[in-house]
Amino acid sequence: MKWGKYLVSICSLKGMTTSLLVGSMGQARYTTQIARSHMIPPFFALVHPKTGTPINATLLTTLSSCVVALFTSVDVLASVFSVSTLFIFMLMAIALLVRRYYAREATDKSDLWKVLLCLFVVVGSSAVGTGLWNSGLFGWIGYTVAACVWFSATLVMSLLPKKRQPKVWGVPLVPWVPSLSIAKNLFLMGSLGSEAFFRFLICTGVMLVYYLFVGVHATYDVDHGIGQESNNDERMEGANVVVFA
């Protein structure tokens, strides 16, 4: 059965290659939209006229990924990727709860504060339970108290009136499933170690600084059409020069 290990290796390599290609194609589309909002140079939003694919964005994401993978260890990449993925999943669960329980014109301030308080308790109890599990303090007593607090906050949220209902299909058992997702993702994040969070905070800080000093102004200009009129005038002048020449 020695041939089996070679077959497994070939299949694993094929699976990883396919995942990398799919991830590169998807990330290129995100990069194209970011370039269209002028958060990065609009050059990367250009689409090839024949294939209809964002070739510049694809090259950017592929080459950047290759450079990072070449000079970074697998452990560092895995930890940062895991923390960021779990953090996004947790934010999606929180966003789902906010969407179900909050509508700008239909939610009273008292109901809004109740929802926010329940969310705070759910996230806080999940984080505390994760910390107690990793540290081993108080044993099963601490785990039980944290679980009871999480259950109570979720139960109170389930009794609050929902402001939106899915028209066709939606997540069932709201708020229990999203609340459980928050607790599970926080628990998995806590098992990754402090170094993973430190790297994640550094990457997040760099992106926030770039967004505040570059992205906000660029998206504001694009949304309000600032600078587009001058660009259109330059294009028209260039076209007139070509015509009269």
Confidence of residue 167 (pLDDT cuts 50, 70, 90): confident
Q: What is the DSSP letter of 189?
A: H
Quickly list H helices, the chain: 2-36, 55-71, 74-101, 109-135, 139-159, 176-190, 194-210, 216-223, 228-244
- The alpha carbon dihedral of 103, 109, 110, 114 has a sign of positive
Higher pLDDT, 148 or 24: 148
Residue 74 to residue 88: CA distance in whole angstroms: 21
The SS3 assignment for 49 reads: coil
Locate the domains of the chain by residue range: 1-71, 74-191, 193-245
Decide: 100 and 111 in contact? Cβ < 8 Å: no
Question: Quick one: how far is CA 162 from the chain centroid?
Answer: 25
pLDDT for 1 beyond 70: no
Name the pTM for this structure. Answer: 0.71
Q: Which two tokens stand for residue 7?
A: 């077959």
Range of lowest pLDDT (101-105, 158-162, 221-225):
221-225
Q: Which two tokens stand for residue 60?
A: 């950017």
Give me the chain's average pLDDT, please: 83
Decide: 25 and 57 in contact? Cβ < 8 Å: no
pLDDT for 241 beyond 80: no
Average pLDDT estimate for 156-178: 89
Phi, psi of 124 (to 5 degrees): -65, -45
- Residue 155: its pLDDT value, please? 96
Nearest by Cα to 117 from 157, 148, 151: 157
Confidence of residue 16 (pLDDT cuts 50, 70, 90): confident
